[in-house]
Structure 1
Amino acid sequence: MHKWSPLVAVCLGTFLLLVDVTVVVVALPDISTSLGAGDDDLQWVLDGYALALAALLLGAGSLADRYGRRLTYLIGLLIFALASLACALAPTVGLLIGARVVQGIGGAAMFATTAALLNVTYQGKDRGVAFGVWGAVNGAAAAAGPIAGGLLTEHLGWHWIFLVNLPICVLAAWFTLRGVAESKAPWGGRFDVPGTVAFTVSAGAVVYGLISASADGWAAGSTLTAFAAGLIGFVVFIVVERRSDHPMLDLGLFRRRSFSSLIAAAFLTQAAAFAVMPYTTVWLQRILGHGPVDAGLLGALPMSLASLVVGVFAGRALQRVPARWTVGIGLLLIAAGDLMQTRVSPDADGDVLMMGLIVVGLGVGVVLPTLSSAVLGEVPRERSGMAGGALNAFRQLGFAFGVAVLGTVFGGVYTDGLDAALRLAAGMALLGSVVVLVLCRNPSRVSAPAHA
């Protein structure tokens, strides 16, 4: 068994599920024309997937710890493949949104297990290499989505952004069956259904409220009702987890300042680095008149390449630097890159974004590999599925939150709205940097489970 087969299997699945977070961005105008979708429908085509992915990651991580991470990963690949086919064949926007949600369910099962599989498979220097490559794939995939979407939409049609997933799922499954060993946590216990439901309701309601605020206003009844439901769901989740003998998220982990600060950094990294991309590509297409391919290349390629280069060539070295500095400085780079893009104007060229996107990509390439390994280093190995699920859940919630919040700022005003959205994204990155630099001090390697 080749020692890098598990890494290939994990990276294929990770790339696939993260590309699909943003792959539809440049295809939205074509989807609108083909299916007669309105702006609210299109936002749910984007956010429905991200929300399902984020809301179910904790539950999926808990299932993986109990019943097997390899098995959970393979089931996720199967669900993702079938849902991708349903997306491609969807005759209405409602069915497309539903299939995107199911895609998110499969993606959650995959994503919740990726970091844990690497954590239990590799040790020492190999572990640093594995997390470096995996982190590079994380950063490159999210940024590469608009590029892949643009190429497929312009030359083959929007349906192909989903059909192309099928052979990649087969390849990922083959590498998994060939090279990934099964692993699970040593304890038993029932699946935490109440906790999963409460967290899903809370996350879904909050994101729905943010989207509703963009369309109807912050004081609208639908917005306030959604936020109230989200708050109630969150309180129920906390109560359920504190009383559970086998919680899907051990709240005791958040007593560690380093763990809490790194989870916050994960949330803010996604919001600051990636959530502005839908609005950047809208500006490129509707204001500057670029096609899907050009919009994808101008709006994502510089970030994708910079992130990939840093992750591949510096990932191992970054593992030896305290996470406080790598994550904190990486977020400062993201903030600087966002601010460098705030020179957009109606008569500007798409090249005005390039240097800023490169700097954001450098920051992403620094943050993501070390963020993952540092979070897992804060928990016992048997909690790695739980910790990986929490990390990735908050990352995707950060993206969904960022898309919704920046959408209220963007507001269809295009140039001025994009400038304001970029400034807000920079503020999010700066906040994340301060949190990590202040609170994340010498993360420890624990050996015993923490309990709430």
Structure 2
Amino acid sequence: MSGSASAPVAGQVAWGTPAARWMLTATVLGSGMAFLDSTVVTVALPAIQGDLNTGLAGLQWIVNGYMVTLSALILLSGSLSDRFGRVRLFMVGVAVFALASALCTFAPTLELLVAGRVVQGVGGALLTPGSLAILQAGFREQDRARAIGAWSGLTGVAAAVGPFVGGWLVQIGDWRLIFLINLPIAVVVLLIARFRVPETRDTSDVGRLDYGGALLGVVALAGITYALIQWGAVGATPAVWTGVAVGALALAAFLFTEARSPSPMLPLGIFRSLPFSVTNGATVLIYGSLGPLLFLMVIYLQEVAGYSPVAAGAASLPITFLMLLLSARSGKLAARIGPRIQLVVGPLLLAAGFVTLSRMDGDAPYLTGVLPGVLLVALGLSTTVAPLTATVLASVPERHAGLASGVNNTFARGAQLIGVAAVPVLAGIGGSGGGGSGAGGHSTSLAEGFGTAMLILAGLCVLASLCALVLPRGRMPEASEAADRGSLPEETSAVQPLGEEQPIRFCGVTGPPLRSCPGSTAGSGAEHTGG
């Protein structure tokens, strides 16, 4: 057990007690720190560009350096927390995130800032699954749904206020403050977790951990990302082709390793379920479009349209607010009529939003030039996210729900990573030089290529809608027994299952839930992480 002898007993914490409040405070502050950071950094990108004299490629690395390690390690980290202790790994993640934030705060160069972001991704991967697992294992069974619902709502607030906080800090001081604020939060979280939160672990988990698969995943994502970003910055140089080769070989080695490993991080047999594969394909397309939108729009609004950092950050807030309002209702509707209709219509609403945003110019007022497209995107996500994740979980046997949700989350983050790297290249937005529109920077090409980028994203969403046509009408898909016969290890859950009918009021914008979204049950039921 973590902390003193007076610490609460795991599995016996009751809602409303001081122990419950301490546990919620630690997990909400820790997760909220990571979720907040993921939104405030995007708002600060133009300020970072001017200070460190970098171009679009440098900004892409600031975003993607974090996503490379987060995407590749989040599955492994769930198993690590089960094996070595959920509170312990959560604390390690918080400490790593804080140290990396200190490096980002004082980084004098782009290279050191990107290095800090890479390490932040490691910390985020360690603390994100652990926060939910701590609540699941710490609270009494009858109080778990309420505790996890409170966690989800409060971390949703952190994601919502991120653009305001980031824009405000940039305007009143310096972009470095967005990283500095993590340090006091981390200290508070570590003290509470050390002395007030009971430790839990899975004593039956004695299988091998897939460190090789995790390393190959990092190399594959890093190689592919490097090639795409540098291609846009300098063209098809030998170094770019080397990155392509390294990424492709590492990906092939990863798949080979996972197919032969007795305890794989990503058991490939789970993809024998057609609905599982189809909905994960739709996840890749949808989140592969969402990542570039959030990345490009906040830069466009500041550098081309002349928005302040606060205004640019607030421009996308309708997405968060509508998801807070509508996701639970969307999940309940999918449970009643089946997910197919929503998974066809939702991506088409997203596509309509992207087409609307493609017509935006630098002089368009927010209410008529930006908000209509943002609202369509928000409606599309609110329609899609809950039934998408519920279908992922319904498509596999219940004992693999944790693995399925972890895989879906990893695919979404990886898709955002590749999307941020690839879409600017495809849209002709590039250049490695620094400066603004008058200094030979990338803002002119961004102004010209933003509309093309939005149309590319609309095309991805149309493909996602077509994927959903494969799903059966009028009901949730049933778990595929073919995906379960001898192809998956018995104990391979990346995130501990959170039980049945866990009602959650919020679904993440930057990533799908680590459990399914609101309003569903065991095969379709509810949890979140954003980040």
Q: Percent identity?
A: 33
**Equivalent of 1:189 in 195, 207, 216:** 207
Deviates more, 1:153-162 or 1:107-116: 107-116
**Is this contact kept in 2: 1:136–1:307, CA < 8 A?**
no
**Equivalent of 1:90 in 69, 92, 107:** 107
Q: Match for 2:449: what amino acid?
A: G
Task: Assess, with a 3 A threshold, how the Cα gap between structure 1 residues 122 and 284 changes in structure 2: closer, same or farther.
Answer: farther
Q: Match for 2:408: what amino acid?
A: L
Secondary structure at the counterpart of residue 24 of structure 1? helix
**Equivalent of 1:320 in 331, 335, 360:** 335
> Corresponding residue for 2:289?
272
CA distance in 2, matches of 1:43, 1:410: 14
The answer to whether structure 1 residue 47 and structure 2 residue 64 are counterparts is yes
User: Matched residue pairs, number?
Assistant: 448
The answer to whether structure 1 residue 203 and structure 2 residue 221 are counterparts is yes
1:182 to partner: Cα distance: 2.8
The answer to whether structure 1 residue 416 and structure 2 residue 448 are counterparts is yes
**Is this contact kept in 1: 2:46–2:302, CA < 8 A?**
no
**TM-score if structure 2 supplies the norm length?**
0.74
Task: Assess, with a 3 A threshold, how the Cα gap between structure 1 residues 99 and 188 changes in structure 2: closer, same or farther.
Answer: same
Cα RMSD (Å): 3.4
**Equivalent of 2:94 in 62, 77, 88:** 77
The answer to whether structure 1 residue 431 and structure 2 residue 467 are counterparts is no
Q: Match for 2:332: what amino acid?
A: A
> Corresponding residue for 2:275?
258
**Equivalent of 2:364 in 330, 348, 353:** 348
The answer to whether structure 1 residue 102 and structure 2 residue 119 are counterparts is yes
**Equivalent of 2:183 in 157, 166, 179:** 166
**TM-score if structure 1 supplies the norm length?**
0.86
**Is this contact kept in 1: 2:46–2:299, CA < 8 A?**
no
CA distance in 2, matches of 1:295, 1:341: 14
CA distance in 1, matches of 2:408, 2:321: 24
**Is this contact kept in 2: 1:332–1:430, CA < 8 A?**
yes
1:35 to partner: Cα distance: 3.4
**Equivalent of 2:349 in 318, 326, 333:** 333
CA distance in 2, matches of 1:271, 1:55: 16
**Is this contact kept in 2: 1:57–1:109, CA < 8 A?**
yes
Q: Deviations over 1:223-279 (max 9, x none)?
A: 322222222111111111111111111111111122222322332222222322222
Task: Assess, with a 3 A threshold, how the Cα gap between structure 1 residues 145 and 397 changes in structure 2: closer, same or farther.
Answer: farther
**Is this contact kept in 2: 1:241–1:249, CA < 8 A?**
yes
Q: Deviations over 1:131-177 (max 9, x none)?
A: 79738956x76675443321111113211111222344456557767
1:93 to partner: Cα distance: 2.2
Report the structure number with the largest CA radius of gyration: 2
**Equivalent of 1:451 in 458, 463, 487:** 487
Task: Assess, with a 3 A threshold, how the Cα gap between structure 1 residues 92 and 237 changes in structure 2: closer, same or farther.
Answer: same
Task: Assess, with a 3 A threshold, how the Cα gap between structure 1 residues 364 and 303 changes in structure 2: closer, same or farther.
Answer: same
The answer to whether structure 1 residue 398 and structure 2 residue 434 are counterparts is no
Task: Assess, with a 3 A threshold, how the Cα gap between structure 1 residues 434 and 166 changes in structure 2: closer, same or farther.
Answer: farther
Task: Assess, with a 3 A threshold, how the Cα gap between structure 1 residues 337 and 444 changes in structure 2: closer, same or farther.
Answer: same
**Is this contact kept in 2: 1:61–1:109, CA < 8 A?**
yes
* Higher normalized helix content (fraction of residues): 1
In structure 2, runs of 5+ residues without a counterpart are: 1-12, 430-441, 489-531
CA distance in 1, matches of 2:77, 2:264: 12
CA distance in 2, matches of 1:330, 1:303: 14
In structure 1, runs of 5+ residues without a counterpart are: none
**Equivalent of 2:404 in 367, 380, 387:** 387
Task: Assess, with a 3 A threshold, how the Cα gap between structure 1 residues 275 and 186 changes in structure 2: closer, same or farther.
Answer: farther
Deviates more, 1:235-244 or 1:355-364: 355-364
Task: Assess, with a 3 A threshold, how the Cα gap between structure 1 residues 384 and 118 changes in structure 2: closer, same or farther.
Answer: farther
> Corresponding residue for 1:286?
303
CA distance in 1, matches of 2:373, 2:78: 35
Task: Assess, with a 3 A threshold, how the Cα gap between structure 1 residues 136 and 425 changes in structure 2: closer, same or farther.
Answer: farther
